[in-house]
Homo-oligomer: A and B are copies of this chain.
Amino acid sequence: MNGKPLVSIVSAGLSKFGKHEGLFAREIFSLAVKEAFDRCPKLDPKRDIKALFIGHMGESYEHQGHMGAAAADWAGLLGIPATRTEAACASSGAALRSGVYAVLSGLADVVMVGGVEKMTHRTTAEVTEYLAMASDYPFEQFHGITFPGLFALMATAHMNAYGTTQEQMAKVAVKNHHHASLNPKAHMQKEITVENVLASKMVAWPLKIYDCSLITDGASCIILTKPEIAGKFTDMPVHIVGSGQASDTIGLYERKTLTSLQSAKLAAKTAYEMAAVKPEDVNLAEVHDCFTFAEIMAYEDLGFCKVGEGGKLVVEGKTALGGRLPVNTSGGLKAKGHPVGATGVAQAYEMYLQLTGQADKRQVKDAQVGLTHNVGGSGATATVHVYRSDQA
């Protein structure tokens, strides 16, 4: 509870996000792993890595469960303890949290955490059905309310309570597409306008197709160690100084409010306290913009602005590159893409790049404190991590 490093990231890898035709999830994961190994020549994978936690949301996509063992083998790590974690779209946020526990436990001094999902070979109807399994299936799917509908309910409640507008939501999409245009690994690298968003096909009012994140294939991984040995592997570690995870009711119908996520607020509180960091200390963040509205809600849940003022924050440009607190410099789930199991650690990958000065065209200058916010389902799970660079 003092801001000291819990664990240190010594390397990171990310596959291109997009269609990976002809590759299995385990193969896509190996692309991310290869980058992480290539970045860190002082690491001997077989000797050093003591455990793998991999976020993978749906065994339905490939009819493939048991992804921990499969991924460990394809990563060249045969034999190590390998566990799949699943917490819907926060599956690899939970993997990251599990990796933090493992390193702190003293049983594993170097741990790989990652995530993967292969989605694009399925039809939109199939993907919608598989994602719906992360909701309260017997009670919510009985009514046919899939995820765009659940987030539309939250957006509508927020519009009603605070006057949030569709234009404000569209601004999130425009910003994140701009950021993605600077990220060669993003699924979509084209700029869009507010008009494009507003004119796009309605999915669940007020959310249109350009308010929704992308169905994508992709994988992510990072390598965690004890801070005191990070120097053995790299001169540029990024430290995780706060880690929070929390749960909420799986059904939206049981919540006291629809305009914020209790899980995210609770996870943020834990992570901030552990990190001895306040929201105003955060220099950049990757937040869970599964829908544009979700980013607006995230600003408020994370304390980046007052409740009800999230829409204003994006319109004022404060969360764009060049603003006071750039959010989703990677392009976010919205434009980089959302291979669901990979997303939480993909956020950590972006933080690693940014805090080590390797983010190229989208580099945030002088950033020292970063935050990632990963949400599962309609908020039944949230993980928040706070990062700090060694660079002065």
Contact = CB atoms under 8 A, between A and B. Distances in A.
A376 to B, nearest CB: 6
- Specify how many copies of this chain sit in the oligomer: 2
Contacts of A86: 59, 65-68, 83-86
Given A79-B248, A84-B86, A59 B59 contact: yes
A107 B274 CA distance: 10
Given A86-B68, A107-B101, A133 B78 contact: no
Interface string A41-67: 000000000010000011110111111
A70 interface: yes
> For chain A, what secondary structure do more than half of its interface residues adopt (helix, strand, loop), or is it mixed?
mixed
Interface residues of A, number: 64
A372 interface: no
A98 interface: yes
Interface stretch (A134-142, A156-164, A289-297, A316-324): A134-142
Given A85-B84, A137-B62, A101 B105 contact: yes
Interface in A221-263: 243, 245-250, 254, 262-263
Contact of A247 (B79, B104, B377): B79
A85 to B, nearest CB: 5
B64 A137 contact: yes
A381 interface: yes
Contacts of A138: 24, 62, 64
A82 interface: yes
Given A82-B247, A246-B79, A377 B66 contact: yes
Contact of A246 (B80, B137, B245, B377): B80
Contacts of A67: 86
A-B residue pairs, 6 tightest by C-beta: A69-B380, A81-B245, A104-B105, A65-B133, A101-B105, A101-B101
26 contacts: A58-B59, A58-B65, A63-B133, A64-B137, A66-B86, A66-B380, A68-B94, A68-B247, A68-B381, A69-B380, A70-B380, A73-B248, A73-B249, A81-B245, A81-B246, A81-B247, A82-B87, A82-B247, A82-B381, A84-B86, A86-B86, A98-B98, A100-B107, A101-B101, A101-B108, A107-B243
Interface of A: 24, 51, 57-60, 62-70, 72-73, 77-88, 94, 97-98, 100-108, 132-138, 141, 243, 245-250, 254, 262-263, 266, 376-377, 380-381
